[in-house]
């Protein structure tokens, strides 16, 4: 089980603090060339191809195998391909264990597929160029346990696609699609992690994309606890417009974080279970030019927490929680001129909602069905260092009831159906 150190965020009675700080996952160094340690107890493959039209296929069975592949292509058929299979059942007897795969490709239209079955396997992949493709599978649906595996995919360019699938428990997946807003456009990232019975410790998925029009989907499911998902799109210098991020988690004590920069971004978060936490931050740097972002959070269960922070103008935040003891917080700020919109739906008992909005033309709606709820709305209050700018023209509505009587709202049902095709 991984250790997570976090700083708690709260929005207490309209006094705003900073959103929760995601954890930092340390990535071990990639091996640049074969080492003696990689050879102990297993087979070794080293393929180095320079020029165009290269293909490489590696199949290794057993324990402590190592595969190193480096290709340099120019264009030829516009496709260099790599296929690595390292396999073996964990029981009976140790097999498919401690394998290592290292792939480097530069050029255009590269692609690689890696399949690893068993425990404590590692895969590192680096692609430079256009139209690259990555597919990494660690574990299988019905056979191999695939615990404590690591997969890292690094792509530079545009229109790249990377997909990592991991089974069983305590695996880690990282996808980095880089370059700036002009040269890192149209990338797609998909991470799927499933915890099968066994020990069922949580997985870790981290996705980072630079540039505009990128898509990032993270899906973690199973009976286990403690999954962690982090989506980062853009940064303080390059921004990220029209980015799409979705996180889906089931289980207990899961955490999901989204950071998106600038304008026109969309974030969906859905969690089903107990003691889960979802945090979405959009237009993180608070640029006056940022805004027009959309955030939707859906939680079903008990003792869940949803936090949305949007800076700029014309943002929309929707939060839905079904169950008891849940907490929803929305903070919208930064001198907006067109106004922001926040809606909270809570259904159950002892739920709490807090909304803070700055400047003018904001709309806040809270609909709570059940018993023992609390709602706080704070509008045009320049607390926390965010100016009120122009003021007035705000609207706030709170509906609280202990029966489903005809007071309208209670409609929106989000997130699950919003996933893009990959």
Per-residue pLDDT of the chain (422 residues), as tens digits, is 333 322 223 333 333 333 345 555 555 566 555 554 444 457 788 888 876 777 889 998 878 888 999 888 766 666 678 999 988 765 555 566 788 999 998 877 788 999 988 788 899 999 988 778 999 998 865 545 678 889 999 999 888 999 999 988 888 999 999 888 888 899 999 999 987 666 667 889 999 999 999 999 999 987 667 889 999 999 878 788 999 999 999 888 999 999 999 889 999 999 999 999 999 999 887 776 778 899 999 999 999 999 999 988 889 999 999 999 999 999 998 755 677 899 999 999 999 999 998 878 889 999 999 999 999 999 876 656 565 556 778 899 999 988 666 666 667 765 555 655 55
Where would I find the H helices in 77-202? none
Please tell me the predicted confidence (pLDDT) of residue 405. 65
**DSSP bridge pairs for 322:** 300, 347
Contact 214, 240 (CB under 8 A): yes
- Distance, CA of 40 to CA of 98 (rounded, Å): 10
**Pairing of the two strands 277-282 and 305-311:** parallel
Q: Taking the domains of the chain in order of start, what are their residue ranges?
A: 262-415
- Distance, CA of 78 to CA of 280 (rounded, Å): 39
- Of all helices (H) and strands (E), which one includes residue 37? helix 36-39
Please tell me the predicted confidence (pLDDT) of residue 10. 34
- Give yes or no for a cis peptide into 152 (omega within 30° of 0): no
- Distance, CA of 52 to CA of 152 (rounded, Å): 25
Backbone φ/ψ region at 341: left (φ over 0), alpha (ψ -120 to 50), beta: beta
Please tell me the predicted confidence (pLDDT) of residue 80. 79
**DSSP bridge pairs for 395:** 363
- Distance, CA of 44 to CA of 33 (rounded, Å): 12
DSSP state of 417: G
Half-sphere exposure in the Cβ direction for 76 (13 Å, CA)? 14
- Distance, CA of 136 to CA of 57 (rounded, Å): 15
Please tell me the predicted confidence (pLDDT) of residue 74. 67
Please tell me the predicted confidence (pLDDT) of residue 14. 37
Torsion angles phi and psi, residue 417, rounded to 5: -90, 5
DSSP state of 183: T
Contact 241, 265 (CB under 8 A): yes
403-406: which pairs have CB atoms within 8 A and are 24 or more residues apart? 403/369, 404/369
Q: Encoding tokens for residue 41? A: 């107890």
- Distance, CA of 304 to CA of 108 (rounded, Å): 45
238 SS3 class: coil
Q: Encoding tokens for residue 192? A: 């799927």
Where would I find the H helices in 178-248? none
Please, what is the end-to-end C-alpha distance for the chain in angstroms? 30
The model's pTM:
0.88
Q: Encoding tokens for residue 282? A: 């959009």
Q: Which residues contact 282 (CB under 8 A, 6 or more apart)?
A: 258, 260, 265, 267, 290, 293, 295, 309, 310, 311, 312, 315
Please tell me the predicted confidence (pLDDT) of residue 326. 94
Please tell me the predicted confidence (pLDDT) of residue 382. 62
């Amino acid at each position: 089980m991984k250790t997570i150190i976090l700083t708690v965020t709260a929005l207490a009675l309209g006094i705003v603090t900073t959103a929760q700080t995601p954890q930092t996952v340390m990535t071990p160094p990639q091996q640049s060339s074969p080492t003696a340690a990689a050879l102990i107890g297993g087979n070794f493959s080293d393929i180095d191809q320079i020029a165009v039209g290269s293909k490489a296929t590696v199949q290794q069975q057993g324990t402590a195998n190592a595969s190193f592949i480096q290709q340099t292509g120019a264009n030829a058929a516009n496709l260099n391909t790599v296929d690595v299979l390292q396999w073996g059942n964990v029981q009976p007897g140790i097999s498919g264990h401690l394998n290592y795969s290292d792939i480097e490709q530069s050029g255009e239209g590269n692609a690689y597929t890696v399949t690893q079955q068993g425990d404590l396997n590692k895969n590192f992949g680096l692609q430079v160029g256009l139209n690259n493709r990555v597919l990494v599978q660690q574990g299988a649906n019905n056979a191999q346990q695939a615990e404590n595996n690591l997969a890292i995919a690094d792509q530079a360019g545009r229109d790249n696609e990377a997909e990592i699938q991991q089974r069983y428990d305590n695996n880690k997946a990282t996808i980095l699609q880089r370059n700036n807003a002009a040269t890192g456009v149209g990338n797609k990232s998909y991470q799927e992690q499933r915890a099968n019975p066994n020990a069922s410790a949580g997985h870790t998925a981290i996705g980072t994309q630079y540039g505009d029009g990128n898509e990032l989907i993270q899906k973690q499911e199973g009976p286990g606890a403690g999954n962690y998902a982090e989506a980062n799109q853009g940064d303080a210098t390059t921004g990220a417009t029209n980015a799409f991020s979705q996180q889906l988690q089931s289980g207990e004590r899961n955490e999901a974080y989204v950071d998106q920069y600038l304008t026109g971004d969309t974030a969906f978060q859905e969690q089903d279970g107990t003691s889960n936490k979802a945090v979405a931050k959009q237009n993180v740097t608070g640029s006056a030019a940022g805004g027009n972002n959309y955030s939707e959070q859906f939680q079903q269960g008990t003792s869940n927490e949803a936090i949305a922070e949007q800076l700029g103008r014309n943002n929309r935040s929707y939060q839905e929680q079904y169950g008891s003891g849940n907490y929803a917080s929305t903070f919208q700020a930064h001198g907006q001129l067109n106004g922001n919109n926040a809606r909270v739906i809570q259904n159950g008992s002892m739920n709490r909602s807090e909304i803070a909005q700055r400047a003018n033309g904001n709309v806040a709606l809270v609909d709570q069905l059940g018993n023992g709820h609390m709602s706080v709305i704070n509008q045009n209050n320049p607390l926390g260092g965010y100016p009120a700018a122009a003021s007035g023209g705000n609207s706030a509505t709170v509906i609280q009831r202990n029966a489903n009587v005809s007071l309208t709202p209670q409609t929106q049902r989000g997130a699950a159906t919003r996933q893009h095709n990959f």
